[in-house]
Amino acid sequence: MSTNKQRAELSQRQVIEILFRDRAARAYTFTVLGALAMVFVVMFLNGSDIGGILVILFGSAALVLRWTAAPPFLLLIIAYFQLWPLGIPDFGSENPFQVRETHFLVADMALVMAVLVYLRAQYRVFGFIHQIVPFDAVFRRKGDVPTRRPSSHIRPDEIAWLVGITGGIVLIGQGVWWLVNALEFVPMEDFPLRWSDPKSLSTYRRNPPPGEFRAGQNRFFVLLGSLFFGMLLLRLVFGYWRLRMMAAVEGAMMLTDTSWAESHRERVRVEKWRIWGRLRDAELAKQAERDRRQAERKAEKVREQKAEKERERMAKRARRD
Amino acid sequence: MLTARGWWFVLIVAFILVMGAFVVPNYTTLPAILAVTLLAWFVYEWLQFHYKSNAAVSRLRVRRWVMQGGRDTPMLWANVPFEVRVRVRHDGYVTIDYAMVEDRLPSGADLIEGETGTHTTISARQPADMIYTLKCPAPGVLRFEGVKVRVADLHGFFYRRVFLRDAIEFLVLPPLVDAEGRQRADKRFNMLPPPGIHRLRRPGSGDELHDLRDYQPGDPPKMIAWKVSARKDKLITKEYENDVPVRCVLFLDTSEGVRLGPPGNTLLTRMAGVTAVVAQAAAANRDLVGLTTFDDKTANAVTPARTQTHMINVMRKLAEVSALQPGTKGVPAGQLTRRAYPLAHELYPELMAKATNTMPLGRLWRPLLDRWWGWIVLFIMIAPPCLLAYRVSDILNPGSAPMPGPVQKVYSTWMGNTLEFAVKVTPRFDLGSRLAVILLIWLNLLCLPAQFAASFWLLYGMSGWFGMAAGETTRRKRLAALFSLQDGTGPDSIERYLHDDDAYAERVALFLQHHQLRCPIPLYDEQGRYRFRCAEKADVLAGAIVRAVSRARDNELYVILADITELGADLEPLVKACRVARARRHHVMVIVPWPADVPSPDEATPEPPPAGDPKFKKKKKRHPDDFLLNERHKRITKIVQDNLTRQYHESFRKMRRLLGATGATVMRVNDGDPVRLVLDRLDRLRGMRSRR
């Protein structure tokens, strides 16, 4: 798995060769195309034939032409056509029991599974044909060559693991969505969450009693709370672990930096005075040098005057003699 | 660390989640389910990456073997390939799925075979191995810094870069002599003394008869020449020649002027190569070789000897001096930062990271009061509120002292006018609201100068957060923190390096030299003088020669390898020292390195056209090149180069004449074969007419 072989950017021909000729990478290519086909089928069955065609065209082009920004936009397209299957914005009538009735539907799970497989495979393919590791600098510098994962690094069981884990994640996603809607936020009670009654219609009232919220508000609080506290917990755990694994030199740097940050105002003052003192010394030295030269010039002048007087005196004496 | 790809993904998924869960759930729940599932996938990847990052990446270790001739070696030979084996492993229990491991190639070495990087999976049982072959074309010091490891998840969402520092230095000794330098160590003619012996024509304990003299009491009887004594009828004693070893002392110039140039191809490296060959050839001939290195401040001498240990010491010394770099005095601090910061960022990523090496915005704030006019702005900012407060207090306490007359007059006018303006511009509401609005406008108008001054102060201070200066200060602070940590000087030195350009430049230069990174150095000072002339080295060299003469035993050979062409009148001490050496019957050879871009003086230079020749009269018509800037620039460059070359040749001629007058032989490094000439001279000293 050498690095020198991939010094240059890949040409389009090389990309296509990797995608369709390389045995290891070809499995990923067909996984991507298969997932796109699955998305098309589910969307077609939902009555969104235009959306399905658009997804398959856009996804295929992104695969071949290395559009790295394409997968998130493909998500937006899928979401749009789920809302408006014909592609024309028309809300129609809403169903307040939509959320309650749409848990663990096979069509939904198939679509989500296909999208997730597509995304996971597509991003991995970008690792072979575009870049897997970002550049060291924020912006690409001249001479920077993108690092690509060689196809020889692909393990034979990668696709199987990919599909298996994706299936698990789809189930987890459905479970989380069910959980989010099955809980109610009750801030007035000791524990702020409780199971909602699936048969009760109280959450659908326009004006719920004080201390209770409507279904959307419940969803918002539960989602936000789970995200916030979940991230906080993970951050604490991994942050503490990171501190435990920190090298001594890194800790020393943090201490030095903290010490400097707390006292840099005083240190700035000290340094300014020091620089001022140095400049003043230099100025004084220059002044002393100037004075010395001036004194020397004066002394020289006095000597010359004395010599001149002496010469005149001698001349006078000579004339007198 | 989340990559740009990861950020985009999270943002889009969050958008779909918000829309799906809170805007359109009563129409379709699929976007919300999709977003929640994608978020779950992202969290799963995040957890996995961080878990592996802490459990495995932080435990990575590197081990290196450098092998030459099939075995581990503490020193290397130039021009001989050697193998480097690197192993990166960790003792954790987790597998890193994808890692890009790259050994940092040391400067001054050429990759001959193999790869310095690899894409790999690292686990406790599966380390990452790299094997490659390098070759050093020139002597010096080879420094391996360590291994760069970049870890990413397979989707490119997360990324972490670590540098496994494993700094190790190897001396690269000058190349072993070739067939030309290898001397025969046996007697080639029976009439010659054995190698390593020099017949000195002074009385001694040799085998050859030197002279006869009258017997003096105390002379050993065996020395009496009986036949001659019988003939002359008085006792005559035989005197034999002295057998002494031949000694050669090499003086190598290591001043900053000869350190300039690309690594491995400096004048110093070339001279060190010549020195090494001469030393090895002389040692093979059992001659004693000494080495004195000097610059413009000091000289270090290795006394002549001929043992193998001594020769290795000489080689080590040559390798050490070959790695010397020119000082960076005079290089602007900004230029040094631009050179040092990427290096520090590459070698110390965890110490240069924002989390550990911070730059608070308060430190970048531009203090207004550092300028003299800042005090005026401050006065404008606080004077109106103070005056207003004074007036209010005057109203509340009528007995307080009044303001000075002119100020009172101006301020009263200002208050009256502003109140009048506020009343005029206020629309007609009910009385209470109108009074409130008038008061608000009036107070604002009264404090208008203060508001302008405060806005200026804010903008001026905030301007420190943007622009090139902010980036420069941030980079400098991070480097300063790194240096203070390395030196153990604490936070004091951080601020010192931020303020003191000289101290900072000196430390950065040290950092660059330590990591063997050269930076562009200005060759000429502000007045256009060559900065690396190093005239003081003539004094130092003269002192070293006189010291060698004072310790010399017999006719020795002093080989001076120094860049002294442009010293001009400063050569006087050296000339005197050469005279001293010649007066003591020592031989002196001066070998001058010749710049690669200056043609040899032996090459014919076109003579300028004679002034009166009508053939070369100036044409009145302008040359088309005069209109083309590039051509014109080329012509001017050529003229300057020709002049500089002529000047250099002239300096060389003068120097050769000056030293030649003392009896020293002057030659250039690339003038024939200096090694052969030095060896010939050694042979002559030994008493040979011709070699081989």
User: What's the CATH number where B645 sits?
Assistant: 3.40.50.410
Across the 692 residues of chain B, what is the mean pLDDT of every consecutive 10-residue run?
91 93 84 94 94 90 91 88 93 90 91 92 90 91 93 93 92 73 53 61 75 90 90 90 80 90 83 86 81 92 89 91 84 89 93 92 89 93 87 78 79 85 82 87 88 94 91 94 94 92 91 87 80 88 93 83 88 93 88 82 61 56 67 85 88 91 84 70 57 36
pLDDT at position B190 is 59
Is the Cβ pair A220, B16 closer than 8 Å?
no
- For residue B183, being part of any structural domain is answered with no
Which residue among A153, A241, A260 sits closest to B54, beta carbon to beta carbon? A241
What gap in Å lies between CA B56 and CA B123, rounded to an integer? 8
Handedness of CA B268, B270, B273, B277 (dihedral sign): negative
Cα dihedral: A85, A89, A90, A94 (round 10): 70
Residue with tokens 């020592």: B586
Mutate to test the interface with B, among A86, A88, A126, A132 (most CBs of B within 10 A): A132
CB B195 within 8 A of CB B186: yes
What gap in Å lies between CA B477 and CA B359, rounded to an integer? 7
Which residue among A71, A149, A247 sits closest to B98, beta carbon to beta carbon? A149
Buried b (16+ CB within 10 A) or exposed e, B399-420: eeeebeeeeeeebeebbeebbe
What gap in Å lies between CA B476 and CA B484, rounded to an integer? 12
pLDDT at position A6 is 53
- For residue B614, being part of any structural domain is answered with no
Amino acid at B621: K
Distances (CA, A) of B223 to B207, B220, B464: 12, 6, 94
Which residue among A91, A127, A257 sits closest to B481, beta carbon to beta carbon? A257
Which residue among A82, A102, A153 sits closest to B98, beta carbon to beta carbon? A153
Identify whether residues B361 and B499 lie together within a single domain. Answer: yes
pLDDT at position A4 is 47
Is the Cβ pair B40, A274 closer than 8 Å?
no
- For residue B520, being part of any structural domain is answered with no
Which residue among B44, B54, B155 sits closest to A242, beta carbon to beta carbon? B54
What gap in Å lies between CA B546 and CA B285, rounded to an integer? 26
CB B667 within 8 A of CB B677: yes
Secondary element (H or E) of residue B396:
helix B374-396
10 Å Cβ neighbour count for B211? 12
Identify whether residues B390 and B458 lie together within a single domain. Answer: yes
Taking the alpha carbons at both ends of chain B, their separation in whole angstroms is 71
Distances (CA, A) of B125 to A208, B94, B121, B149, B519: 61, 10, 10, 18, 42
Residues in chain B: 692
Residue B53 DSSP one-character state: H
Q: Cβ of A221 under 8 Å from any chain B Cβ? A: no
Is the Cβ pair A134, B4 closer than 8 Å?
yes
Distant-in-sequence, close-in-space partners of B330: CB < 8 Å, separation ≥ 6: B521, B522, B525, B531
Q: How many domains are contained in chain B? A: 6
Is the Cβ pair A132, B8 closer than 8 Å?
no
What beta strand segments (E) does chain A contain? 183-185, 193-195
What gap in Å lies between CA B341 and CA A136, rounded to an integer? 13
* Mean of all residue pLDDT scores within chain A: 88
Which residue among A76, A134, A270 sits closest to B159, beta carbon to beta carbon? A134
Q: Cβ of A110 under 8 Å from any chain B Cβ? A: no
pLDDT at position B201 is 67
What gap in Å lies between CA A3 and CA B118, rounded to an integer? 6
Model confidence, pTM: 0.79
More confident residue, A321 or A109: A109
Is the Cβ pair B3, A134 closer than 8 Å?
yes
Is the Cβ pair A260, B29 closer than 8 Å?
no
Identify whether residues B510 and B482 lie together within a single domain. Answer: yes
Show the CA angle centred on residue B325, arms to residues B322 and B329, nearest 5°: 155
Identify whether residues B360 and B507 lie together within a single domain. Answer: yes
Residue of B nearest to A215 (CA): B22
Contacts across the A-B interface (CB distance below 8 Å): 229
Mean pLDDT of the region A154-172: 93
Range of the domain at B301: 247-326+530-608+623-686
Q: A residues 128-157 near B, CB within 8 Å?
A: 131-134, 136, 147, 149-150, 153
pLDDT at position B690 is 34
What gap in Å lies between CA B31 and CA A81, rounded to an integer? 10
Mean pLDDT of the region A248-254: 93
CB < 8 Å to A70, chain B? none
Across chain B, which distance is largest between two alpha carbons, in Å?
Answer: 152
Which residue among A68, A79, A133 sits closest to B31, beta carbon to beta carbon? A79
pLDDT at position B623 is 63
CB < 8 Å to B149, chain A? none
Is the Cβ pair B98, A2 closer than 8 Å?
no
Give the residue extent of every domain in chain A. 4-154
CB < 8 Å to A264, chain B? 360, 363, 491, 494-495
Identify whether residues B106 and B69 lie together within a single domain. Answer: yes
- For residue B165, being part of any structural domain is answered with yes
Identify whether residues B479 and B503 lie together within a single domain. Answer: yes
Is the Cβ pair A75, B16 closer than 8 Å?
yes
Show the CA angle centred on residue A183, arms to residues A177 and A188, nearest 5°: 150
Mutate to test the interface with B, among A109, A123, A258 (most CBs of B within 10 A): A123
What gap in Å lies between CA B32 and CA A216, rounded to an integer? 12
Which residue among A1, A83, A268 sits closest to B28, beta carbon to beta carbon? A83
Report residue B251 as tokens. Answer: 């003086």
Residue A234 pLDDT greater than 60, yes or no: yes
Is the Cβ pair A153, B12 closer than 8 Å?
no
Q: Name beta bridge partners: B169.
A: B143
- For residue B179, being part of any structural domain is answered with no
What gap in Å lies between CA B146 and CA B63, rounded to an integer? 9
Edge-to-edge strand list for the sheet holding B557-561: B299-305, B288-294, B247-253, B557-561, B587-592, B665-668
Is the Cβ pair A134, B156 closer than 8 Å?
yes
Show the CA angle centred on residue A87, arms to residues A86 and A91, nearest 5°: 85
Identify whether residues B556 and B682 lie together within a single domain. Answer: yes
Residue A237 pLDDT greater than 80, yes or no: yes
Q: Mapping DSSP to helix (H, G, I), strand (E, B) and coil, where does residue B329 land?
A: coil
Q: A residues 242-261 near B, CB within 8 Å?
A: 242, 245, 247, 249-250, 252-254, 256-257, 259-261
Report residue B433 as tokens. Answer: 């609201």
The Cα of A42 is separated from the nearest Cα of chain B by a number of Å equal to: 12
- For residue B318, being part of any structural domain is answered with yes
10 Å Cβ neighbour count for B547? 14
Which residue among B4, B58, B157 sits closest to A245, beta carbon to beta carbon? B58
The Cα of B348 is separated from the nearest Cα of chain A by a number of Å equal to: 10
Q: A residues 8-67 near B, CB within 8 Å?
A: none
Mean pLDDT of the region A290-301: 95
Which residue among B22, B100, B120 sits closest to A216, beta carbon to beta carbon? B22
pLDDT at position B13 is 95
Nearest alpha carbon to residue A78 among A44, A106, A104, A102: A44
CB < 8 Å to A68, chain B? 5
Distances (CA, A) of A190 to A179, A193, B194: 20, 9, 106
Is the Cβ pair A174, B37 closer than 8 Å?
yes
Pairing mode, if any, of strands B247-253 and B288-294?
parallel
pLDDT at position A319 is 87
Identify whether residues B95 and B160 lie together within a single domain. Answer: yes
Is the Cβ pair B115, A250 closer than 8 Å?
no
pLDDT at position B616 is 54
SS (H, E, C) B288-324: EEEEEEECCCCEEEEEEECCHHHHHHHHHHHHHHHCC
CB B516 within 8 A of CB B107: yes
Q: Cβ of A316 under 8 Å from any chain B Cβ? A: no
